[in-house]
Homo-oligomer: A and B are copies of this chain.
Amino acid sequence: MSDAFSELERAAVYRAIRERRDMRHFSNEPMSAEVLQRLLQAAHQAPSVGLMQPWRFIRIRDVDLRGQVRALVERERLATAKALGGREQEFLRLKVDGLDRCAELLVVALMDQRERHLFGRRTLPEMDLASVACAIQNLWLAARAEGVGVGWVSLFDPDALAELLQMPAGSKAVAILCIGPVDEFYERPMLEQAGWASAAPLSEMLFENHWPTADTPV
């Protein structure tokens, strides 16, 4: 095929996938506007159900506003800790966001008026969120290739954030992305390194023809 990837290109794509990390530790250095623009273009090239392009990006530049977003994340961090019960103290020791030192803060939201789009969503309306997640994954991989860290923070009350950012009814924020230079990428997922959770192998998640049952193992 004339449009085949070379061996080196193929390896680079797999490398970005393998070495991408959900970052919480940033180096407090600035990031060029050109790099940010490339990352956003990568996100915008994502697939979307019925080509609806439901993603909206709000770049938070105002210093006071960033402080308000941080306060909102901190409030949810404490609420989550309490809800975790027995693991409350362990959770509170984790670093769960990078809002303190990341170069850029980007809120990603579902657009309003999504009910107008039916293609591929009649039985699965949540495909709009799936499209937005694909866009964020594009941005994440492109960032890794640029040597830039990205962390997806979902510790916030979406209604409170909507009010803060003057978002219209029907829209919904689904990510606060911390983006920027890092000193180093984690060797393994941070939650594994911190002993919070351990990843299971693919083999446990791969079935054939049907879900396994006690009678019919994988």
Residue of B154, B166, B208 touching A210 (CB-CB under 8 A): B166
Q: Is the CB of B120 within 8 A of A154?
A: yes
Q: Which residues of B contact A123 (CB under 8 A)?
A: 76, 154-158
**Quick one: copies of this chain in the complex?**
2
Q: Is the CB of B5 within 8 A of A8?
A: no
Cβ of A100 < 8 Å from any Cβ of B?
no
Residues 54-110 of A contacting B (Cβ, < 8 Å)? 55-62, 65, 76, 79-80, 83-84, 91
Residues 8-39 of A contacting B (Cβ, < 8 Å)? 8-20, 22, 38
CB-CB nearest in chain B for A80: B122
Q: Which residues of B contact A216 (CB under 8 A)?
A: 166
Q: Which residues of B contact A122 (CB under 8 A)?
A: 76, 79-80, 83, 155
Interface residues of A (CB under 8 A from B): 1, 3-5, 8-20, 22, 38, 40-42, 44-47, 49-53, 55-62, 65, 76, 79-80, 83-84, 91, 111, 118-124, 126-127, 129-134, 136-138, 140-142, 144-147, 152, 154-158, 165-168, 171, 174-175, 184-185, 189, 191-192, 196-200, 202, 205-211, 213, 216
A-B pairs with beta carbons under 8 Å apart, 29 shown: A8-B12, A9-B145, A10-B145, A12-B12, A13-B141, A13-B144, A14-B42, A51-B192, A51-B197, A51-B199, A53-B205, A65-B209, A80-B122, A83-B118, A83-B122, A84-B119, A120-B155, A121-B154, A123-B155, A129-B130, A130-B152, A130-B154, A131-B133, A134-B136, A137-B138, A165-B211, A166-B211, A167-B210, A168-B211
